[in-house]
Amino acid sequence: MNKISILSAFAAIAALSPLTQANDLNINGFLSVGVSMLDNNDVTLDGFDNNGNFKNDTILGLQISKQVNDKTTVTGQLVSRGSDDYATESAWAYVNYAASEDLDLRLGRIRVPFFYYSDFLEVGYAYDWVRPPSEVYSIPFSSIDGADLNYRFSLGSWDTNAQLYYGRYSPSGAGVDLKNFTGLALASTSGDFTLRASYHRLEIETDGTGSFGAGNTAAVAGVSALKPLLNPTNDAAIDADIDQIAVDFALTGQELGFYGLAAGYDNGDISAIAEYTQGFADTPFFTSNTTYLVKVGKRFNDLVGHLTYTATENELDSGLEGDVQKALGLENKQNSIIAGLRYDYDTSTALKFEIQNHDEEIVNGAKGESAMLYTVAIDLVF
Amino acid sequence: MIKFKPTLLALLLTTASLIASAETAVIVAASNGNGTIDKATISKIFLGKTKSFPDGSQAVPIDQDDGSAVRESFNSSLLGKSSSQLKSYWSRLIFTGKGTPPKQLGTDAEIKSLVSSNPNMIGYIDSSAVDSSVKVVLKF
């Protein structure tokens, strides 16, 4: 078919039904491939070591979506991650019902709007970094099973999306069940500016088995074992306090969560983003976690140079609870400086170079070391 | 910049006349019920933030082919975004299932022909290509 007949075919279809285009089956994909090397094996950073790692940044995603009728769309996104031995997971698998032009209801598996980049977390092409910094982007899962509401409204020049979600995450083998997962994310844009605020909370239940449950059971036992150290005089009142802390360390039935704030600016030439999170938990098993990142970028035609500072800190509670946390090595303070270059090599491919200096000021209660991570990656969307 | 040198002034005037001659017209079918449409609404239609015209009827935006001069002018002057910003904007929406970019359906002649025969479509062409088969809702 030559160009004219393709166009007249389009015109004919378009004339028959304005909806035809919206009814297409959309297939899109993304692929990221990265090679990284860390220069110090005593530092733990995103699973890298001092041999070239070709796997951890490699991610393949395939997405299909189809408008089933006027109001209903189905979307599925299958993601296969090198860091997970290419096991394939549905990151999105939902049916969307457009109740009105401003209100969408989704049911199924959804990506949780934890952070600024969460919706497109693994689409490397959509941001400048090879991967969002793990100091802030530290949650080891990104999707839950549940439902959400997206409501859009405008105030002056600000367009806002409010997303309210509810769901549950119960991975097999981890011995943990995250229930009554609830959260709200507000994102507003006006011209080149974006502001975002979010709140997330859940209830945790563990059966004491699996990778996560066993860790919690060991920590509870560890608290009781600290009595000789923290209470050498065998004071009955202090013993009772330690017993209570051991009870509090058991996670089942406890509530935890965090809130986040972010602000972004991008005028196509200069960009900046700042993101901050503050965790909270009923249980001293989780120390108070504060994280943030600040990134600036500057575009030179097809090149973007960017610089990021990011940090995470787990602070101890005060008093005896803090002494227990300290003895169990729950104190952490780490930061990274990331300098990178992104080269837009064509309309759907980006080549990235990154150097990250990661400093473990305090790691598991002890002084750590620092390391450099070198990465070359390529990101495609298709 | 109060005292222009004559040459600089001449240069500015030439540039201004070049810009004026390359006006872009946002068009709908002659049978479309909407009068003029403001820049903010057109921007929302082309960025997938609304799916309707001001009169409530369905709006289907169509883009010119990548790389056309009219498209560059539409992106930078009306949407206020560079092509790299737009690519990143759409990749973020596509992979959340929240939207797909407008279809690219040709240049001035093809866009005009499609829009003229479909009251739901909205496109943009060089204003010199406008004729009575379409209605201009905004010119810039």
pLDDT tens, position by position, for chain A (382 residues)? Answer: 344 444 444 444 444 444 444 567 889 999 999 999 999 888 888 888 888 888 889 999 999 999 899 899 999 999 999 988 999 999 999 999 999 989 999 999 999 999 999 999 999 999 999 999 999 999 989 999 999 999 999 999 899 999 999 999 998 888 899 999 999 999 999 988 999 999 999 999 998 888 888 888 999 999 989 989 988 898 999 999 999 999 999 999 999 999 999 999 998 889 999 999 999 999 999 999 999 999 999 998 889 999 999 999 999 999 999 999 999 999 999 999 999 999 988 878 999 999 999 999 999 989 999 999 999 999 999 8
How many residue pairs from chains A and B have C-beta atoms closer than 8 A? 81
Residues B25, B28, B32, B34: what is their CA dihedral angle, to the nearest 10 degrees?
-40
Residue of A nearest to B87 (CA): A347
Residues ≥6 apart with Cβ < 8 Å to A64: A25, A26, A27, A28, A75, A76
pLDDT at position A6, please?
45
Burial state string for A155-177 with b = 16 or more CB within 10 A and e = fewer than 16: eeeebebebebebebeeeebbbb
Q: Provide the pLDDT for residue B9.
A: 52
Q: Do residue B96 and residue A61 have CB atoms under 8 angstroms apart?
A: no
Residue of A nearest to B88 (CA): A126
Residue A272 C-alpha, separation from nearest chain B C-alpha, in angstroms: 14
Distance from the Cα of B50 to chain A's closest Cα (Å) equals 7
Nearest CA in chain A to B114: A11
Query: What is the per-residue pLDDT for A211?
Result: 82
Chain A neighbors of B28, CB-CB under 8 A? none
Residue whose tokens read 């069940």: A177
Q: Over the stretch B64-109, which tens digit does the pLDDT of each residue have?
A: 998 889 998 999 899 988 777 788 889 999 998 888 899 999 999 9
Note the pTM of the prediction, 2 decimals: 0.85
Round to whole Å and give the CA distance between A291 and B5: 55
CB proximity A327 to B under 8 Å: no
d(C-alpha A134, C-alpha B101), whole Å? 31
Q: What pLDDT score does B83 carry?
A: 77
- pLDDT score for B7: 55
Given the cut 0.90, state whether the ipTM is greater than it: no
Q: Is B91 within 8 Å of A120 when comparing Cβ atoms?
A: yes
> How is chain A split among helix, strand and coil, in percent rounded to 5?
20, 55, 30
What pLDDT score was predicted for residue A20? 43
Chain A residues whose CB is inside 8 A of the B56 CB are: none
> Does the CB of A278 have a partner CB in chain B at under 8 Å?
no
Instruction: Give the gap in angstroms from C-alpha A115 to the nearest C-alpha of chain B.
Output: 14
CA–CA min distance A279, chain B (Å): 26
**CB distance B60–A30 less than 8 Å?**
no
**Do the chains contact at B114 and A11, CB–CB below 8 Å?**
yes
Q: Which residue of A has its CA nearest to B43?
A: A191
Whole-angstrom distance, CA of residue B122 vs CA of residue B137: 9
| Chain A contact present for B56, CB below 8 A | no
Distant-in-sequence, close-in-space partners of B83: CB < 8 Å, separation ≥ 6 = B72, B75
Placement of tokens 């596509």 in the chain: B94
Q: Using a CB–CB cutoff of 8 Å, tell me whether A295 touches chain B.
A: no
Cβ contacts (< 8 Å) between A301 and chain B: which residues?
A: none
Identify the residue whose tokens are 């820049």: B39
Which of B78, B95, B103 is most worth mutating to test chain A (most A CB atoms within 10 A of its CB)?
B95
CB contact under 8 A, B88 and A126: yes
Q: Report CB contact under 8 Å: A14, B118.
A: yes
Residue numbers in B near A127 (CB within 8 A): 88
Put simply, the answer to whether A11 touches B96 (Cβ < 8 Å) is no
Q: Quick one: pLDDT band at residue B5, thresholds 50, 70, 90?
A: low
Residues A14 and A39: beta-carbon distance below 8 Å: no
In this predicted model, what pLDDT tens digit does every residue of B21-78 receive, in sequence order?
Answer: 579 999 999 999 888 999 989 999 999 988 899 998 999 999 999 888 999 899 989 9
Q: What is the pLDDT of residue A60?
A: 96
Per-residue confidence (pLDDT) for residue A362, from 0 to 100: 93
CB-nearest partner of A21 from B66, B87, B103: B103
- Per-residue pLDDT tens for B113-136? 999 999 999 999 999 999 999 999
Q: Which residues of B touch A63 (CB under 8 A)?
A: 94-95, 97
Task: Work out the mean pLDDT of chain B and round it to a whole number.
Answer: 84
Kindly list the strands in the beta sheet with B121-126, ordered across the sheet, starting from the edge strand earlier in the chain.
B103-104, B60-63, B121-126, B24-29, B134-139
Interface of A with B in 231-250 (CB under 8 A): none
Q: What is the pLDDT of residue A23?
A: 61
